[in-house]
Amino acid sequence: MYLGVDVGSISTDAVLIDNKNNILAYHIVKSGFDHKGAVNMAVKGVCEKAGIRYKDIIRIVGTGYGRRNVPDICKSVTEISCHAMGIHTIFPRVRTLIDIGGQDSKVIRVSDEGFVDTFVMNDKCAAGTGRFLEVMANAMDVGVDKLGEYSLRAAKAVKISSTCTVFAESEVISRISEGVSEEEIIAGVHNAIADRIVAMVSAVGIKEHIALTGGVAKNMGIKIALEERIGRVLVPEEPQVTGALGAALYALNCGDC
């Protein structure tokens, strides 16, 4: 068994695979402020789900921005490489991967073998990330996991003109006080994110197939807003663990350890 752990800004994800690339179990916990604690919980959880002991794990690879908190690793691998390898194993025909996490979003051109040809990353600003969605969900007192349902019910979408998260939040609050429905505001928020992501996709160039990963891929409104702009977008069954899956695959194929 091989373990991959992706310590992201919002979630810490652990995936266990066997030596044939099959996922045995995965476990997702909140990263919070104690990354070591989150890693312990994620690893304990995934071992319990797979019914194995920690010492049965042959090799571990850590990834994500908090990867230095993963113990006993054979090596750490960048999350860009891990996402590319993870999506390649799930959908081998994907050449353009959009990962929208809590803190950053990335568009990756995936090679035929699951390596990274090129990528662009938005890591300086919350706009176009899961954090942007969380701020807006908070302003409207709607759960982040309910945003998709709300936007699907919208007859139209308001225009959110500000790209800055703080200004966009004020805009959302103004629309609420004007009596605009939450559905229309949320649809507008999704459009704003999709526009930012499409600008990043254009920088890399569209090459089919296209996939969407990260926790934000669970938001159906974002998937649809992207599809309206760039065509069909594939989403894995559990998009949030794609990076951890890639890390597990690097652990399996780690020739150096």
Ligand X SMILES: Nc1ncnc2c1ncn2[C@@H]1O[C@H](COP(=O)(O)OP(=O)(O)OP(=O)(O)O)[C@@H](O)[C@H]1O
Q: How far is the CB of 85 from ligand X (least distance, A)?
A: 16
**Toward ligand X, which CB reaches closer, 52 or 163?**
163
Q: Which one of residues 101, 130, 148, 188 is an interface residue with Mg ion (CB under 5 A)?
A: 101
**Toward Mg ion, which CB reaches closer, 187 or 245?**
245
Phi, psi of 212 (to 5 degrees): -125, 130
Question: Which residues of this protein are in contact with ligand X, per CB under 6 A?
Answer: 8-11, 31, 64-65, 101-104, 130-131, 133-134, 144-145, 214-216, 218-219, 240
How many Cα atoms are found within 13 Å in the side-chain-facing hemisphere of 104?
15
Q: Which one of residues 1, 2, 7, 8 is an interface residue with Mg ion (CB under 5 A)?
A: 8
**Toward ligand X, which CB reaches closer, 52 or 121?**
121
Q: How far is the CB of 110 from ligand X (least distance, A)?
A: 17
**Toward ligand X, which CB reaches closer, 144 or 251?**
144
- Residue 67 interacts, among ligand X, Mg ion, none and using kind-specific CB cut-offs from 5 to 8 Å, with none
Cα gap 17→224, rounded to integer Å: 31
**Nearest CA among 137, 138, 132, 180 for reference residue 155:** 180
Q: How far is the CB of 103 from Mg ion (least distance, A)?
A: 8
Token look-up 């894995």 returns 236
**Nearest CA among 252, 241, 254, 256 for reference residue 20:** 252
**Toward ligand X, which CB reaches closer, 55 or 139?**
139
Q: How far is the CB of 55 from ligand X (least distance, A)?
A: 28
Task: Considering only residues 28 through 47, tell me which ones interact with Mg ion, judged by CB under 5 A.
Answer: none
Token look-up 């160039």 returns 205
Q: How far is the CB of 25 from ligand X (least distance, A)?
A: 18
Spell out a b/e string for 31-67, using b for 16 or more CB atoms within 10 Å of the CB, else e: beeebeebbebbbebbbeebebeeeebebbbbbbbbb
- β-pairing, 75-76 with 23-30? unpaired
Which residues contribute to the site for Mg ion (CB under 5 A)?
A: 8, 101
